[in-house]
Amino acid sequence: MNNPKIALIGLGYVGLPLAAAFASKYHVIGFDINTKRVEELNSGFDATNELTNEQLKAVVGTSLKLTTTVADIAQCNTFIVTVPTPVTSSKSPDLTPVVKATESVAVVLKKGDTVVYESTFYPGVTEDICVPILEEKTGLKFNSDFFVGYSPERINPGDKKHTITKITKVVSGSTPETLKELSALYGSIIEAGIYEAPTIKTAEAAKVIENTQRDINIAFVNELSIIFSKMGIDTNEVLKAAGTKWNFLNFFPGLVGGHCIGVDPYYLAFKSEELGYTPEMILAGRRINDSMPTFIVSQIVKQLMKQNKNSQNASALILGATFKENCPDLRNSKVVDVHQELSEFGFQVEVYDPEADVEVFVKEYGFEKLEALPTNKYDVVILAVSHDCFKTINPKELIVNEGVVFDVKGFYKDPDFLYL
C-alpha cells in the first residue's frame, strides 16, 4: 500500500494501542465520538491504562492526531473500525456501534479507499451488513471503487506481556490484492507475524470461536466446582493433580464477564439459530457461567447458616469489581451480579476496587465504590478479582469472629477460606 493514511475509528482498549502502534511508522488520525475520551488522550491520560503517559506523549500531537470530527479523517485512505460489539438485554447481537461507525466512514469514503473491521461479530457481518451500508451511502461499488478487510482484534486488556505487536495478526481482504496490501501494512508493525485467512468470513469465524472455546472450557471447570462442592472435594486440588498429564488443558473456575468471553458466544449462537441450528454446547456454557454468581452467594449463605447466622443485614465486602485483574474495565462484570445476589439475601454490601473506573462504577452500576480499604469488620469478605494490589491484604483482618471469606480466584490459598 503506497503512502497509507490511516484512520482509527474508536479509541478504546483496542483502537488506542493499535493507533499508537501504527503511529510509530505512519501518520495516523484517531476518531472517537466520546469528547471526554479524546480530551483526556490529548492531555496525555489514558483511563484504560493500556498506554502509559510516556507512550501517549510520544505520538499524540505528532504522528497521531485525535479528533471527534468526521471531516478530519477525510484525507485518509485506510479506515480501521475498532468499536465494541455488545449484546442487548435479551442476549442478541447489538451491531449499533458498528453500523454507526460504518455510516461515519461512508461520509468520507472515496474511490480507492479500504475499510478494515477489527470488531468481533458473527461471520458475514462485514460483507452482508457493512458493505451494503457503504455502497448505499456513497454510491460507490464494492471491490471496484472501494475494498474491505477483516483483521480481528486480539487485545487482552491489562496484559503487559502479550501486547498488540506481540500477538499474531489474522488478516483477510475482499480481493487478493487487498489481502496482500493489508498483510504488508499490519506486518510493518506486528512483530509476531501475520496469518493470511483465505476469506473474510473465515477470519470473522476464527475470532468468534477463540472466545467461545474459552467460555466453554471455563464452563466445564465451573460445573466441576459445583459437583465437587457437593462431594467436599477441593476443585483446585483436583485440577492441579489432573494437570500433571501433558495433554490436560489448564482452565480454572471463576466469574466470566467482560466484553469478549461473556459476549462473543451469543453472536455465534445467534447466527447458528438464524440458520436453524440450536448450538447446545455453546448456550449450555453460557448458562453455567452466568449462574456462578448465584452459586457463590448460595455457598456463602449455607456457611453462615452452619454458624447459626442470618444473612439479613449481615455485612459483606467485595474485593474487586472489574471483569478481570489489573484492569479498570467494568464492562459486563459479573461482580455486579454477585452484589445483586447478596443484596437480595439482605446483605449490606460494600465494594472496594482501587483499579476500577470510579465514574463508570457509579454511573453504570448504581452503587458506591469505597475510596480506601475499610478498617471495620465484615461478616463476609469476597475476593472477586485478583488484582496485584490485593496481595498485601489479609482478608482475615477484615472479618468478624467466625466470618466467611470466599476466595473466588484461589488467590490466597488459605485452608480456612471457601473456594470454587
Catalytic residues: 260
Q: Supply φ then ψ for residue 273, to 5 degrees.
A: -65, -35
Q: What is the DSSP letter of 87?
A: B
DSSP string, 345-400: TT-EEEEE-TTS-HHHHHHHH-S--BSS---S-EEEEEE-S--GGGTT--GGGGEE
Instruction: Record the cell numbers describing residue 159, joined without a space.
Output: 496484559
* Residue 126, all three cell numbers: 462485514
Query: What is the DSSP-derived secondary structure letter of residue 420?
Result: -
Q: Identify the burial level of 256 via C-beta atoms within 10 angstroms of its C-beta, where 0-12 means exposed, 13-18 middle and 19 or more buried.
A: buried
d(C-alpha 394, C-alpha 383), whole Å: 11
- The set of cell numbers assigned to 230 is 457437593
> Three-state SS across 90-158?
CCCECCHHHHHHHHHHHHHCCCCCEEEECCCCCCCHHHHHHHHHHHHHHCCCECCCEEEEECCCCCCCC
Going 131 to 136 to 137 to 142, the CA torsion angle's sign is: positive
Confirm if 228 and 178 have CB atoms less than 8 A apart: no
Tell me the three cell numbers of residue 57: 506523549
